[in-house]
Structure 1
Amino acid sequence: MATPIPLPSRNERKAPKWDSQYEEQLPTFFEEFKTVAKDAAIDSDDVKMKKESLRYVDAKTMRFWRSLDTFEDNTKTWKDFKMEVLSNYPGAEQLPKTTTETLKKVVAKYTKSGVRDSQELAEYHREFATVAKSLTKHGILSGVQVAGYYVQVFPDSVRAQLNMRLQFQHTGKKKGEAYSLAELKSAVDFLLTDANTSLIDSLSIRGINATIGERSVHCVTDSGCSIVAMSDTACNAFGIAFDPGRTIPLQSANGETDWTLGVAKDVPFRFGEVLAFLQVHIVPSPAYDVLLGRPFEVLTQAHIRNFLSGDQHFTLTDPNSHKTVTIPTIPREPPRYCKGDSRERRK
């Protein structure tokens, strides 16, 4: 058993402190006192807890707390005493001064100035999280509502990319379950890997070209995604059959949930001399034709090499013939297949 540490004197740096002018800080004072009381091994002694708490308040407050019924009555617990004290300081139980309007002002501020790199994202995140945590703690906003506000500073094109990354990184999200602010920040930070790259252009996202049958398709690469996916329009264009009985939920940053349409089995993707048969989830109206996630890299034993110039090479191995090929990646291209008729977009 650890040796008890005596309670600190009032003037010691680690002593609990509370200024009665700031009622809202009283709960924090009680938490700090509980910590030092536990170190001193008196936290289970209600009488000592009540008595020793007085050493850290001013004389006027001390006289008042001593007059309380729960202090004088030794049958009353520390919890009873603390609740009676708090009931006499309305400010300690008030809701925070921050409101939904406060959060909207933060969003409006950064929507106007823009979030262009990781540094600006960090500044926005700190300011947003400070307000949002208070609002969720007091039940003013739900986690889903907070996430919806968080992503409003980014343009539609970026939110589509953000949703794509979130959906395939967190496929286990249940319907209505919010993404945490940490998950949202991590996903946006991925889009801002290059501090000199505009978030709107999002040139940090790269892809490679493959062929299915005799037709070419541009594939976005993302090691953080747990599946391989294809848009429904590309699926229609290639005439690929899929199993509609195997679907998974996809939740966007604002809490809305969609479902994949099914899984296409053993779709033959050719990358130069390498042929890979992939299990592909069919997704309605994403911002890509094909998304190559982690299963693709595992199957092809992909080695990824990055260069200071910003170039990137994928070295792939055919899982059957063991032939290898190195393919340079290129900046992400917009989807080639139109929603209306699934024809390849002309360049």
Structure 2
Amino acid sequence: MPEFAPLKNDLILRAARGEKVERPPVWVMRQAGRYLPQYHVVKAGNDFFACCRNPELASAITIQPIDHYDGYLDAAIIFSDILVIPQAMGMKVHILDKIGPHFPDPLREPSELETKLTKEVDVLKELDWAFKSITETRLKLNGRVPLLGFCGGPWTLMVYMIEGGGTKLFRYAKTWLYAHPEASHELLSRITDVAVEFLAQQVVAGAQMLQVFESWAGELGPKEFKEFSLPYLRIISSRFRKRLVELGITEHIPLTIFAKGAWYALDWLADSGYDVVSLDWLFDPKEAMKIANGRVVLQGNLDPGTIYGSKEVITKKTEEMITDFGGGKQGYIVNLGHGTQPFFDPENLGWFLKEVHRVGSA
């Protein structure tokens, strides 16, 4: 592991460990990306994944919001995508302009597990560029804020790999669950294996905190979530810790789970081995605090749409949220309830960050 500069701001790491802090830390999902005009300058016609695979470009894009909102963000998150795991497993993925991710040859039949996927994935080789991006970014940050890494949750990645892109009906993924449950579990298990190694190697490369994005969790009912998502999320958290020890890393690396839409699962997630549970905006903060009952740190959960409102509305909603999460001095990290959107006014997002500092420091 390279020699990295000491951290000047470790607020989010202390908060994630459950320590009392002077104010709640804040970062936002997808904080590096299309809503910032300088992103388009750096991207300069490059394909999305070409930017991800170029450590120079990825690090520049990752650091853009840290520079733009100088002093107001408490973490950087590496510019990448959850779909790099399917790519490492042998699948082709493209990001189509104004459409999103597209798999030209998705999995449709269980027999294709053997013909379309790599059986033994060499994570260090296949995702070498991702680790180089993390190391370069951590070096360039020079200790300003911690660097976050991430991966997609197994169920979420399974959806994309089977549907071939975004979907409203989940026709093919649900066919697998209900018509081919054994094959579904095999696929989920194989994704989980890659996710564990990918997360661990991100830490080796320099990531200081990690998040698992189970973005399609809310498309499963409670029973299905307990069968097809939760077990694999628990495997990730437990095996990740063991893998770090094998790699000689004894430092506790905070691990966050974001199971979007799975409001029924908070109690289970609080006992699933994660340090932080990130919440979407469908949660009532006070109820979430009661359910979590100090077992985990909570993160979230401002409706991203709030950023389209006036500064007065952003202030009001930010004040309400931090108050409802107990004031934010312990057990809480401020975030949006989902990622930023391309149409955000950067000034409005900046106003939100400044209000978090004002309210959280009171």
- Tell me the TM-score normalized by structure 1: 0.23
Name the larger-Rg structure. Answer: 1
Return the structure number with greater strand share: 1
- Tell me the TM-score normalized by structure 2: 0.22
Return the structure number with greater helix share: 2
Relative contact order (C-alpha < 8 Å, sep 6+): which is higher? Answer: 2
